Amino acid sequence: MSFFPSRSSLCLLACGLFACPALFISGCGSTGKSNLTSVEIAQKAKTLHEEAVACYQRFYASQTDADKGIDIEALTCYVDRRKSRAALFPNAIDCPSCYFHYGEALRMLGVYYRTLGLKQAEQAKAAAGEKKTTLESHSAANRAKSDLNFNMCLQQFNIHFSTGQANPNAYWSAFEAAYLLKQYSFALEFLKGYELNNALNSSEKTKLEKWRQRTTLAQKIKLRDEVRKELENK
């Protein structure tokens, strides 16, 4: 168990409005109404799933292409197809996995932008003048995109959790997003949810405990810094 599990297939640099697992909302989802019949919805959902898989495969293959680099269009295509599939089911209970897959796709896009932003920030350190300013600007913009996608993914995961039919892996993905957003209290709740909903071996339990300790420490440091800043501003 690594911070970015192999299921995301992101060989990248490490890498709101959401509730903790104890307060998951229910009945959330797209409010749009469809004129499609149940058969047509099922057919459309199947088509979108197949298109999403094709987009993902393109994205996955691009990670091994050193010349062309990562195919961001394939990744955004994957996100779009997952979004469209979830929108077919305004009542999330009718397709809990749709919201999990959409949330996971958004998390992956968040990781992409975060990684790109970090890389640009590193490049800016060695640059000067206009190039340095441009890199810093691009880095900040991509970090903002990253945070937006992480927040959106947490919203989808919470809708998924509200169905009572959660994919056990969703808790880990939600933990990753919350941790990177520095929402440590929520991250700890998701970590607890992952532990309660998965059968972990001793090695996995040890790694999980290390993440719990790391997150708890980060939470304390964040709180300390916030208090210190508040006192300095008085």
Give the pLDDT score at 20.
33
Confirm whether 205 is domain-assigned: no
Q: How far apart are CA 65 and CA 62, in angstroms?
A: 5
CA distances from 192 to 86, 120, 197 (A): 26, 34, 9
Confirm whether 217 is domain-assigned: no
Tens-digit pLDDT profile for residues 175-230: 999 999 999 999 999 999 999 999 999 999 999 999 999 999 999 999 999 888 88
Domain span at residue 132 reads 9-22+34-168
Confirm whether 28 is domain-assigned: no
Confirm whether 180 is domain-assigned: no
Confirm whether 100 is domain-assigned: yes
Number of domains within the chain: 1
Tens-digit pLDDT profile for residues 123-167: 999 999 999 999 999 999 999 999 999 999 999 999 999 999 999
With 0-12 / 13-18 / 19 or more C-beta atoms within 10 angstroms meaning exposed / middle / buried, residue 92 is buried
Within 13 Å, how many C-alpha atoms sit on residue 165's CB side? 10
Confirm whether 223 is domain-assigned: no
Which residue reads 């998951």 in tokens?
Answer: 24
The model's pTM: 0.82
